[in-house]
């Protein structure tokens, strides 16, 4: 299985991270936008690698 891409947060995403604007979620949840599991979405490069980026822009910790 290929590694998921690991983008660096944009300034806008960094602001959300700094503000604690993210939620805990189960990796088995299904994305409402693309229908894939949350586990199949990209997560940030370190040091924000604990956050996964969903298609609608929401950040979740799996």
Positions that interact with Zn ion (CB under 5 A): 31, 33-34, 55
Helix residue ranges, H only, the chain = 11-18
Tokens 């939620």 sit on residue: 23
Q: How many whole angstroms separate alpha carbon 19 and alpha carbon 23?
A: 12
Q: What's the min distance (Å) between Cβ of 33 and Zn ion?
A: 5
Whole-number minimum distance, CB 58 to Zn ion, in Å? 10
Q: Which is nearer to Zn ion, 18 or 56 (CB)?
A: 56
Cα–Cα distance between 59 and 8 in angstroms, integer? Answer: 13
- Residues 59 and 12: their CA atoms lie apart, in Å, by 12
- Closest residue to Zn ion, judged by C-beta, is 31
Rounded least distance, CB 25 to Zn ion, Å: 12
Give 17 or 37: the residue with its C-beta nearer to Zn ion: 37
């Amino acid at each position: 299985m290929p590694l998921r891409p690991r983008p660096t947060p944009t300034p806008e995403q960094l602001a959300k991270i700094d503000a604690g604007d993210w939620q805990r979620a189960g990796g088995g949840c299904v994305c409402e936008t693309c229908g894939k599991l949350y586990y199949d979405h990209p997560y940030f490069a370190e040091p924000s690698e604990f956050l996964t980026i969903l298609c609608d822009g929401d950040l979740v910790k799996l």
